[in-house]
Structure 1
Amino acid sequence: MSGASRARLVPRSLFARNILLLVALVAVSQVCAIAVLLHFIQTPRIERAAATFASYIVTLDTLLQTTPPEAAQSVAAHLDLRADLPAGARETAPGTRLRFYQTYQRRTFVESLREHLPAGLLVRWQGGDTADDGQQRLWIRAHLSGEPRWLALPVPEAAHDDGLVTALLLSLGLGALAFATAYVIQRHLNRPLAHLADAARLVSAGGEPGVLPTDGPTEIAQVSDAFNRMTAALKEAEATRALMLAGISHDIRTPMTKLRLAMAISAVPSTDAGFAASAEGYLDTIDTILQQFMDYAGSGAKETPVVGDLNALIANLAADFAGLGHEFALDLGAIEPFAFRPISMMRMLMNLMQNAVLYGVVGLEVRTWTDARANTVCVVIADRGKGLGAQDPEALKQPFKRGGGEGQPKGTGLGLAIVERIARLHGGTLELRAREGGGAQACIVLPLSGDAAN
């Protein structure tokens, strides 16, 4: 079996692997216990019983051989000695897989009996299904006054089962009980790991998982304690970053405001209107770039999700763009209200619509629909511009990667990175692809379940 085949057969989860290991250990222990019991306890017992039985048969055969010929007929009638062997008698005892131990006992006894008997004393087994009275028998070829005769020795029902089958069933029951107990214990041990996995997913989505309990097993408690320390450090780093960004924004925008005020009260606007307009444009660009950096740094995870109407939000944004002279064709499907972060969602949609205006110019369109099978909502913002060309869509979503060539609008390259971060914050995805018939389109897929937004 190849390594790939073994990898497919072995479960991936630690819980399933531990359960499989427990099942294997219980099964191996049961098989080993049965093998030891049969080999070291039962087999010697059966062989000793066969040796004792063989000595009785030899003694009986000796007595029969010394029987006077005139008394042979009476003895044969009394002991049911037969000249011919019954048709149902065979050399080995029959057996079935369901009653393996009984089969093992019979065959071991018959084989051991043959080993202890002289060569002239043959042994045959007759099952109850071939006997007239349903009794199982051992047929021994003895010698009555020197003439061979078959002697029937009934096998008592008590000898068929000495209680070992009951012991085996009890052992299997105890093994099942051990497996069930181990299953419950393993579930209990895996519960902190499941909580840890849920907390890690929440952290990756930008949430705050809270403090994990550390009262479980030592190893898991150490992992939970390390995770708590990590989340505390991340929270402190996030607070430091927010404070630093707020300070940078304040320290940069304060002199910018003073510069605007100085330009407004100076004589520059009246003497050189072109320079004043250019300076105002540069200040606006700096302010826009600074705001984009703030938007990218602010994950939006602390914003509380609320149930809202996504189509209404899109319609309001389209109306705002229409007031600026950019008409978006709307094809809004039925979407039931679901939980999302309204400010982050508005920022994401606004960035994509603004990209469509800047890079597409014409053929602006927004489409929405619900995928009932996947329980998701899809939003497509498209245009009829130059499209993606040879650019890698995944690379465009990286920070500071800008699309377009000569003549295209300049920016910081953070717009799509902000969009993807917000989409992931909601448990969704962003995909950029070429639009059929020319242009480009951005497709956002968001889950309708409220868990992704929490």
Structure 2
Amino acid sequence: MSITTRSKRRSRWLPRSLLTRNIVLLVALVALTQACSFAVLLHFVQRPRIDRAAIIFADYVKTLDGVLAAMPPDQGRAAAARLGAQTAAPEPDGVKAQRSLPRLFGTWQRDVFLRALQHHLPPDMPVRWQTGNGGDGERLWIRVHVAGAPSWIALPMTEDAQASGITTTLILSVGLALLAALTGYLIQLHINRPLKDLARAARHVSAGEAPVVLPTDGPTEIAQVSGAFNQMTEALQQAEATRALMLAGVSHDIRTPLTKLRLAMAMAIPRGADDTFVASAESYLDHIDTILQQFMDYAGSGEREPPQQGDLNALIGQLAADFAGLGHEFELSLGEVPGFAYRPVSLMRLLMNLMHNAIAYGRTGLAVRTWTEGDTACVAVCDRGSGIDAAEMEKLKTPFSRGTNARTHSGGTGLGLAIVERIARLHGGSLQFRAREGGGLEALVTLPLNRHSS
């Protein structure tokens, strides 16, 4: 068996939460400490105490035996009768002991006492322990000599031979273990709180939201992590500002000569010249402008646009009407979607890209469906095309990836679906592709309804 397999099997039994792991570890350590303390108590405190009690009790029994043996027969038998003596040996203990920790400790303590007591008594004075029925209690039977004949008498037991105080000790031990576990739980909660804040701030940053400055006044290790996170977010802000400045410069520096080139072509080419050449040149300029705009869209993707409360179905209806004006009819099946906060320009760009892809690659069976699942709004842009399957479309979410039929659509840069996924993630949602029932493809976008409104 490989090390990785063994590691996976071990981790399968471990709690997933760090809080639970630490509490389990703390409880296990407390339990081990209590067990060790209990063993030390039994061996070095309780056992010597029981041995001393057995020696004293043995001396008492031997004295009693000597007195009964020295008395006249009639007086000896009368004294033994007053002690409840009987000539027959007591019946063996047939009462089944209850299974409990205090009872187990009492049995151990009784056995130690009986062995020590038998060790200090003569061989002809055996002892027996009998557990009474019906609440008679426990009795210790010892064989003594009365008028030259053996008799069994029941003697009162010393407290050292019974499990006195063990229940209180066990309850106290369990209480201390629970107190230690509760203390560890509170400490772990205090440690976990900044970790949860860090995870929440990281999710906000990954979603494109403004980074949150974390406090650095906690424990040293947590403060170091929070400080490193704050440095990272500050560096990201600086990089974002540099990128915005660079994009603005690129847009200005490229679009300005493009505009001048259009103007120079209009002035240089005489009226009535080759219209094919003019149209081709204009097409190339439009192509350059489209590529530039796609790069700008991917780099921006709407992080700076504030969310606004809006109607998703109304936005889809508006886009469908615009595409209908261009000769592309989308069948709409719009379910009940409550208003929620989203970035309108970014979401419009997302829907336009998906609807444009459906037109370009699907051509037929164009449709848009909306519905809700719990706290999530779902939008599906569908077509009946057969050019690209769902698995290949998933790969096209990578920037600059283009499909096998991209040669027939040379106006793109391979950023369209990457822009769509980036906008979906910016809203806390996702983009998936799946085969459409009856043939074709379905692009599914899920958006949380309460992400920005809460």
Number of positions where the alignment pairs a residue of Structure 1 with one of Structure 2: 448
Q: Is the 8 A contact 1:93 1:125 kept in 2?
A: no
Q: Is the 8 A contact 1:95 1:102 kept in 2?
A: no
Which residue, out of 132, 136, 139, partners 1:137? 139
* Aligned counterparts of 2:378 and 2:299: Cα–Cα separation in 1: 26
* Aligned counterparts of 1:37 and 1:431: Cα–Cα separation in 2: 65
Is 2:420 aligned against 1:414? no
**Deviation sequence 1:383-423 (CA, Å, 0-9, x none):** 22233159622211111112242762111111011001111
- When the two structures are superposed, what TM-score results if normalisation uses the length of structure 1? 0.92
Summarize the Cα distance change of 1:407–1:268 in structure 2 as closer, same or farther, 3 Å threshold.
Answer: farther
Q: Which residue of 2 aligns with 1:68?
A: 72
Percentage identity across aligned positions?
A: 59
Q: Which residue of 2 aligns with 1:21?
A: 25
Q: Is the 8 A contact 2:139 2:156 kept in 1?
A: yes
Q: Which residue of 1 aligns with 2:241?
A: 239
User: SS state of the match for residue 85, structure 1?
Assistant: coil
User: SS state of the match for residue 444, structure 1?
Assistant: strand
Counterpart residue identity of residue 241, structure 2: A
User: SS state of the match for residue 379, structure 2?
Assistant: strand
Q: Is the 8 A contact 1:95 1:103 kept in 2?
A: no
Summarize the Cα distance change of 1:440–1:135 in structure 2 as closer, same or farther, 3 Å threshold.
Answer: closer
**Deviation sequence 1:253-312 (CA, Å, 0-9, x none):** 010111111122223453232222211111111000000000000132222112211000
Q: Which residue of 1 aligns with 2:442?
A: 441
Q: Is the 8 A contact 1:93 1:106 kept in 2?
A: no
**Deviation sequence 1:69-124 (CA, Å, 0-9, x none):** 3533333333332212344x539995641523333322221222122222111111
Give the drift of 1:29.
1.4
Give the drift of 1:243.
0.8
- When the two structures are superposed, what TM-score results if normalisation uses the length of structure 2? 0.92
Runs of at least 5 residues in structure 1 that lack an aligned partner in the other structure: none
Summarize the Cα distance change of 1:183–1:356 in structure 2 as closer, same or farther, 3 Å threshold.
Answer: same
User: SS state of the match for residue 450, structure 1?
Assistant: coil
Which residue, out of 197, 200, 224, partners 1:198? 200
Summarize the Cα distance change of 1:112–1:409 in structure 2 as closer, same or farther, 3 Å threshold.
Answer: same
Give the drift of 1:223.
0.4
* Aligned counterparts of 1:390 and 1:307: Cα–Cα separation in 2: 32
Q: Which residue of 2 aligns with 1:35?
A: 39
Q: Which residue of 1 aligns with 2:113?
A: 109
Counterpart residue identity of residue 401, structure 2: K
Counterpart residue identity of residue 431, structure 1: Q
Is 2:95 aligned against 1:99? no
User: SS state of the match for residue 368, structure 2?
Assistant: strand
* Aligned counterparts of 1:347 and 1:406: Cα–Cα separation in 2: 21
Q: Which residue of 2 aligns with 1:258?
A: 260
Q: Which residue of 2 aligns with 1:297?
A: 299
User: SS state of the match for residue 179, structure 1?
Assistant: helix
Runs of at least 5 residues in structure 2 that lack an aligned partner in the other structure: none
* Aligned counterparts of 1:129 and 1:208: Cα–Cα separation in 2: 77
Q: Is the 8 A contact 1:141 1:151 kept in 2?
A: yes
* Aligned counterparts of 2:245 and 2:204: Cα–Cα separation in 1: 23
User: SS state of the match for residue 272, structure 2?
Assistant: helix
* Aligned counterparts of 1:31 and 1:327: Cα–Cα separation in 2: 78
After TM superposition, the structure 1 stretch with the greater mean CA deviation from structure 2, 60-69 or 363-372, is 60-69
Q: Output aligned runs, 1:26-425, within 5 Å.
A: 26-87=30-91, 90=93, 94=97, 96-100=99-103, 101-129=105-133, 134-155=136-157, 160-372=162-374, 375-389=375-389, 392-405=392-405, 408-410=408-410, 411-425=412-426
* Aligned counterparts of 2:46 and 2:98: Cα–Cα separation in 1: 18
**Deviation sequence 1:9-36 (CA, Å, 0-9, x none):** 2011211111111111111111111111
Counterpart residue identity of residue 445, structure 1: T
* Aligned counterparts of 1:145 and 1:313: Cα–Cα separation in 2: 115
